[in-house]
Amino acid sequence: MYNKRSERTEISALGEFGLIKRITKDIPVKNTSTIKGIGDDAAVIDNTNKVTLLSSDMLIEGVNFDLVYFPLKHLGYKAAVINFSDIFAMNGQPTQITVNIAVSNRFAVEAIEEIYAGIQLACNHYNVDFVGGDTSTSPHSLFLSVSVVGQADKDEVVYRNGAKENDLLCVSGDLGSAYMGMLILEREKQAFKANPDVQPDLSGQDYLLERQLKPETRADILRILREAKVKPTSMIDVSDGLASEILHLSTESKTGCNLYEEKLPIDFKTEETAKEFNIAPTVAALSGGEDYELLFTIDQKDYEKIKDIPEISIIGHMTDIKSSANLISHDGKVAPLTAQGWDALLDLEKNPEKKKKQEGNQENEDKKQ
């Protein structure tokens, strides 16, 4: 584990190529589709008769993560996993990953090694090859840009636009727990800022914190569905909140939807913690985001095949487009389903303190150059 107080190697002591060599040494190749990984101008991938899936994501310090409470190794792991999730949401298998990183001079080589150790741990766990990327300097903050390559049989790919009227709406796992984990970390951060001598109170919060700091993606759900001989008609991963993702499926598939509040899978600890924060558990489930569960639809004829699978909840059904997307409350009231999940492009405008802090960081770093 990297410790800021331990021996520190400056990036300038190695240079760009020395840094790349150090942080990418001894990376194994596991997939036969990887012909050439790290070490050339580009990776070489052969997907033979399968279709190629591509996705990418960017993580920015102060916008997507806070290093006050986010361990660097966990950050690397999460950066990789959330990209894998996009491939699994297409009913595919991630096979290769590239990572671009930009850091300021406040980061030591050892810190970067921690991030890459987390990325490699995720790659090992999900059998993905780490095949390249780039490093650069940043005038402020830490930037991670991750791209993932995946593959799937052409007739097995699942899109967002395949849902039909009367299809069942299903979701894996439970919802809202990652958001509760973030709120706990933010609460303890504020307590620390008020009194640095106060130790964080994180006892009994392991599950919620892990869902935020070290999420897992649901490759197991694809295996379960294959074993049950069920192919989803549409699918998406839950990254921006359940409501937002349902609306994506409805819009792309040109359908409406009825979502039943009583069917939402919410962990007991999530429900308990939400009430501590005076938040309705349903709101946490609908708008919290970062759960990285799989939301999908299936044909009604497949109901018997999945109804007893504990990892899957049937939470509603698709309707005709004229009916729009609706939330049916516990008492039977019908309300339009609206997306209130986190939007990276609007977050800074809605949070002037965060925007001011980020602009201040930029100004301080510029003065150092």
Q: Which tens digit of pLDDT belongs to each residue from 216-274?
A: 999 999 999 999 999 999 999 999 999 999 999 999 999 999 999 999 999 999 999 99
Same domain, 144 and 290: no
Asked which of 102, 124, 155 is the last residue of a domain, the reply is 155
Contact (Cβ atoms closer than 8 angstroms) between residue 45 and residue 95 = yes
CATH of the domain at 174: 3.90.650.10
Contact (Cβ atoms closer than 8 angstroms) between residue 204 and residue 211 = no
Domain containing 55 equals: 11-155
Structure tokens belonging to residue 80: 């990789």
pLDDT at 135: 86
pLDDT at 227: 97
Specify the number of domains making up the chain: 2
Q: Which amino acid is at 322?
A: K
Domain for residue 5, yes or no?
no
In this structure, the number of other CB atoms found within 10 A of the CB of residue 195 comes to 7
Contact (Cβ atoms closer than 8 angstroms) between residue 142 and residue 67 = yes
Same domain, 222 and 116: no
Same domain, 255 and 269: yes
- Residues in the chain with pLDDT values less than 70: 1-6, 9-29, 31, 34-45, 341-369
CATH of the domain at 123: 3.30.1330.10
Same domain, 144 and 283: no
Same domain, 124 and 227: no
Same domain, 139 and 184: no
Q: Which residues pair with 65 in a beta bridge?
A: 61
d(Cα 325, Cα 334) in Å, to the nearest integer? 10
